[in-house]
Amino acid sequence: MNSRLLVFICLLSNFSFSCTQDNRVMEEDQDDAFIQGRSFLKVGKEEEALDQFLSVTRRTIKCPKSHLEVGRLYLTLETRKDPVAAIYHFRRFLLLENESREAPKVEQLIVTAEREIIRNLPGEPYSDLLDSLTLKEENDNLKRKVADLQARIGLPLEIKNLPVPRMRKPQFISPLTSVQKPIPPQSTLPRTYVVKKGDSLYAISRKLYGDSSHIERIFQANRQSLSSKDSLKLGQTLIIPALHRNP
C-alpha cells in the first residue's frame, strides 16, 4: 500500500510540474515561431511565415503582432488569400491593441477586406456600391489636396467651407475711390485640443491646420507633457498654438 501511495504522489508531482511549465507566460516577441515568422518575411517566404504566425495565434492569447501579420498575409498572399479570415485577425488585433498607432490603418484594412469579399460575390451584385465608395475616396483625397494647397499659399482654412459665390455683374469703381486691401482673418484655431481615438500629431496637424506641416509646432508647444512625438495618450489635452498670417 505504501509503495502504491508513493507512486501516486510522484505522478501527481510530475503532472503539477508539467502544467506549471506549459502554462508559463511568454512574451510574443520571445516566441520561437514569431521570431521564425519574421525571419521568413525578411527573405520573402510569406507562406512559411504565415504558418509560423498562425501557430502563435493558436497557442497564445495575447499576440496582437501575430494577428496583424496573419491578417496582412491573408489579404495579400495570392496562394492563401482569405479576406474573411483576414478580418477576423484584424479584429483580434484591435481587441488587443485598440489604442495603438496602427489601429486606424488596421480599420482601413478591414474595409479593404470587406470590399474584396463584395468584389468576389457571384454576379457582382454590389458593383454600384463599390463604384460609389471609390468615388467618395477620390473626392476625399481631392479635398485634402485642396486644403494643403490653400494652407501652402496662405489662404484662410475656413474658405473651403464657404459656399461658391454667384457671378455678379461688374461694378464701376471710381478711380478716386481708395481700395483697401482686405486683411486676412487671424487663425480661429482652438487654444486646446483633447486627443481622441486614433489621433497622432500628423492627424491633428491635418485636422486643425489643414495640412501636416505643423507637427513640430504642436510638439514644441507641448514639450512639458509629451516625451516624444509618438507619446500621445487618449484624453490628453494639447495646447494648439495659433497660426498667425502676415497681412
Provide the domain count of the chain.
2
Domain shared by 33 and 114, yes or no: yes
The answer to whether residue 178 is domain-embedded is no
Digit-coded pLDDT (tens) for 123-143: 555 555 556 666 666 666 677
Which residue segment(s) compose the domain that 220 sits in? 192-239
Question: Nearest Cα to 196, choosing from 93, 97, 99?
Answer: 99
Mind listing the pLDDT tens digit for each residue in 170-209? 454 444 444 444 444 445 556 788 998 888 888 888 888 8
In this structure, is residue 175 part of a structural domain?
no
Mean pLDDT (whole number) for 49-61: 92
Give the CATH number of the domain where residue 46 resides: 1.25.40.10
- pTM to 2 decimals? 0.44
- Which of the listed residues 67, 98, 119 is the one where a domain comes to its end? 119
* pLDDT above 60: residue 59: yes
Which of these three, 85, 119, 153, is where a domain ends? 119
Residue 186 lies in a domain: no
208 domain-assigned: yes
CATH code for the domain in which residue 196 is found: 3.10.350.10
Domain boundary among 71, 102, 119: 119
Return mean pLDDT, the chain: 75
Structural domain includes residue 216: yes
Query: Residue 171 domain-assigned?
Result: no
pLDDT digits (tens, 9 = 90+) for 83-127: 999 999 999 999 998 888 989 999 999 998 888 888 777 755 555
Instruction: Indicate whether 42 belongs to any domain.
Output: yes
Residue 48, domain member (yes or no): yes
